[in-house]
Amino acid sequence: MQTKLEDLTNKAEKTGLIISINETKALRINTSKTDSFTLRGESIEDVDSFTYLGSVVAKDGGAAQNVSQRIRKANGAFVQLYPVWKNSRISTRTKLRIFCSNVKSVLLYGSETWKEIKTTTSKLQTFVNRCLRRILNIHWPEVISNEELWRRTGEIEMSTQIKRRKWNWIGHTLRKGHEAIEREALDWNPQGKRRRGRPRHTWRRTVHNEALEKGKSWSEVKRMAGNRTRWRCFVDALCPLRDNRN
């Protein structure tokens, strides 16, 4: 890694770019090595997580920190739009469209690559339900079930929305050329031996298991992605949409 860092630094300097020592961090995963990396003689700070292109990359490979950050950002966007939610002259339908485009888009940014865990999904669902109740002006002591809330707003469960986004992204990626690095990443098989114990529940293993539930192997999934019509039917079968609209 030190050699690669030096090569990158040299290549960058030839094009007039200088790598900032303050914005360069080292994150170690599954290694006991503690030797410091250096950049132009200065040590690079070791961190347990860092933000890259708006998403938090954590040492444990999970999405918990990223989900918490997305909820904070989405809540900030929701609060800024309070005048819209309070405006009685704006229809509920329009408010929900604004919520989807300005709040939910912030909340679910990068969710295609999240490893699904019930606790994180529950946090997302709780936040969305609270926002929807505020938009519909439902306050205590008025109480309605989540199912009724989703029926009135035409919403579906967050777990299904995330799953659909994930599989739509997978189809888009598989239709790219073989030279696309993101497509290579879907098939990349890291070398080496696993540690003893139960295999970790990874994003990739989840994808393969979901496909197998519909009787499709990964090789069949890759072939099917080229046919957009078949792919849409496959995604609909994996993530069925309920008609909650009035």
Pairing of strands 25-26, 45-46: parallel
Q: Is the pLDDT of residue 245 over 60?
A: no
Contacts of 141 (CB under 8 A, 6+ apart): none
Residue-wise pLDDT tens digits, 123-173: 999 999 999 999 999 987 888 899 999 999 999 999 999 999 999 999 999
CA distance 71 to 79: 12
**What was the pLDDT predicted at 66?**
86
Six-digit token pair at 198?
């139960």
Mean pLDDT of the chain: 88
**What was the pLDDT predicted at 244?**
42
Pairing of strands 42-43, 38-39: antiparallel
Over residues 210-232, mean pLDDT: 92
> Percent of the chain beyond pLDDT 70?
95
Six-digit token pair at 71?
């909820």
CA distance 6 to 229: 47
CA distance 19 to 118: 39
CB contact burial 31-48 (16+ within 10 A = b; e otherwise): eeeeeebebeeeebeeee
> Percent of the chain beyond pLDDT 90?
54
Residue 141: Cβ within 10 Å count: 4
Closest by Cα among 139, 136, 127 to 75: 127
Asked if residues 156 and 140 have their Cβ atoms less than 8 Å apart, the reply is no
Asked if residues 50 and 69 have their Cβ atoms less than 8 Å apart, the reply is no
CA distance 162 to 110: 10
Closest by Cα among 146, 175, 173, 144 to 158: 146
**What was the pLDDT predicted at 242?**
67
Six-digit token pair at 37?
């990396």
CA distance 214 to 197: 28
Residue-wise pLDDT tens digits, 70-118: 999 999 999 999 999 999 999 999 999 999 999 999 999 989 988 877 8
Residue-wise pLDDT tens digits, 163-202: 999 999 999 999 998 888 888 888 887 777 766 766 667 8
CA distance 133 to 149: 7
